[in-house]
Amino acid sequence: MLQALGLDLTTERVYRAMLAHPEDDMRRIAARLGLDDQEIGRALDRLGALSLVYPVGRESGLPRALGPETAMEILLARQEAALAAQRQRVESAREAAARLIAECAAVAAPGHNGDTVERLAGIGAIRLRLAQLTTRAQQSVLTLTPGGDDTETGIAAGRAPDQAMLTRGVALHGLYVDSVHTHPPTLKHLEWMSGQGARIRTVPSLPLRMVVIDRGIAVLPADDEDARAAALVLRGRSLLTALCTLFDQLWATATPLGTQPQESRQRPHEAGLSRQEREALRLLSQGLTDQAVAKRLGISPRSARRIAADLLHRLGARSRFEAGVRAALRGWITDDGSD
């Protein structure tokens, strides 16, 4: 039962026996559990390494087991620290992969590996290539949009291409961040798209901006810090399989536009904690900066700083890492960021 927290079955049985029979010596515990002295010794060593027992100067020499509430907090904190470190390694690997793709595209000679990577410089070239690719779309266009064009003019410019695709019967699936509900021009456009047959969903945050045409061509920013500066057009089964899998996983957890996020699934002690705040906690526990969190959530850095400060205060935490651990112990965030 507690193997996920670092206790093997034998060690867990010994710990439970020590809690249930605190006056037993080692021989009695061994007899109760059908274990030999070596097995009991190894279990005690493991419990000691996990700080779940402490010496009390008893004649039997057997330490006393730490109470379950404190013990579980220790074990959960250890696991959350390990998870946070793993999340940071995954995030670093993702960034390294993006840099590698960009570097390979930058050194490629014109036409070299043209079937795999194509580099576009400048917003004009990006928009032109996207228009060409989406015009040729036959089956589907999938989009991840962490933060769209904030101007009504920019939003309106995309209406005609979207309408043309939908009229041709192209399936248009768009993923946006929850914060679009607070930006009337964007929300109005998405409602219009939905009314034309596009399928629109939202999630608390998105890891990148992306357009996938017919699940065979993907367009991504070459530099995540400046999506307008350059873009990469990617082809190839392995790359597209990975990118489409990412999209499908996000889509499965997203909320259809016009549907309120299912906050009813929060635990009682989560009252007042929004889906966006839980996602901010998850991102902060990974070590992301305010700028990175803002970009993922589709909000301003100032808003991200305000959310972070408020969450630290509510959790009584002195650091973001501590906030992540405390939030996980309370069940406010999950390993995968789902609600």
pLDDT digits (tens, 9 = 90+) for 99-117: 565 555 555 444 444 447 7
Q: Of 22 and 105, which is predicted with more confidence? A: 22
State what percent of residues in the chain have pLDDT above 70: 77
pLDDT confidence of 213, banded at 50, 70, 90? very high
Average pLDDT score over the chain? 78
Give mean pLDDT, residues 259-277.
55
Q: Looking at 92-96, 141-145, 157-161, which range is the least confident one?
A: 92-96
Neighbour-count burial of 138, counting CB atoms closer than 10 A to its CB (0-12 exposed, 13-18 middle, 19+ buried):
exposed
Bridge partners for 145 per DSSP: 176
Give mean pLDDT, residues 255-281.
63
CATH code for residues 114-256 = 3.30.870.10
Alpha-carbon distance of 293 to 207, in angstroms, equals 10
Alpha-carbon distance of 3 to 56, in angstroms, equals 27
Give mean pLDDT, residues 34-46.
88
Cα torsion at 317, 323, 326, 331 (round to 10°)? 140
Bridge partners for 256 per DSSP: 201
The architecture in CATH of the region 67-107+273-339 reads Orthogonal Bundle (1.10)
Domain parsing of the chain, residue ranges: 1-50, 67-107+273-339, 114-256
pLDDT at res. 264: 36
Sequence-distant (6+) residues with CB within 8 A of 210 are 142, 143, 144, 218, 219, 220, 243, 247
Give mean pLDDT, residues 31-55.
88
The pTM of the full predicted model, rounded to 2 decimals, is 0.53
Instruction: Report long-range pairs for 253-259 (Cβ below 8 Å, ≥24 apart).
Output: 253/203, 253/338, 253/339, 254/175, 254/201, 254/202, 254/203, 255/178, 255/201, 255/202, 255/203, 256/199, 256/200, 256/201, 257/190, 257/191, 257/194, 257/200, 257/201, 257/202, 258/191, 258/194
pLDDT confidence of 263, banded at 50, 70, 90? very low
pLDDT at res. 109: 42
- Is residue 139 within 8 Å of 214, Cβ to Cβ? yes
pLDDT at res. 243: 85
Confidence check: pLDDT of 6 > 80: no
pLDDT digits (tens, 9 = 90+) for 153-200: 667 667 788 888 888 889 999 999 888 887 888 888 888 888 888 999
Give mean pLDDT, residues 240-262.
80
DSSP code, position 35: -
Give the chain's length.
Answer: 339
Q: Of 119 and 82, which is predicted with more confidence? A: 119
Alpha-carbon torsion (278, 281, 285, 286), positive or negative: positive
Alpha-carbon distance of 254 to 204, in angstroms, equals 8
pLDDT at res. 141: 93
Confidence check: pLDDT of 304 > 60: yes
Confidence check: pLDDT of 58 > 60: no
Query: Hey, which of 2-11, 239-248, 258-267 has the most confident mean pLDDT?
Result: 239-248
pLDDT at res. 59: 59
pLDDT at res. 177: 87
In the three-class reduction of DSSP (H, G, I as helix; E, B as strand; rest coil), residue 110 is classed as coil
Give mean pLDDT, residues 199-224.
87
Confidence check: pLDDT of 337 > 80: no
Q: Looking at 42-56, 95-109, 194-208, 278-292, which range is the least confident one?
A: 95-109
Triad 321, 327, 333: Cα angle to 5°: 105
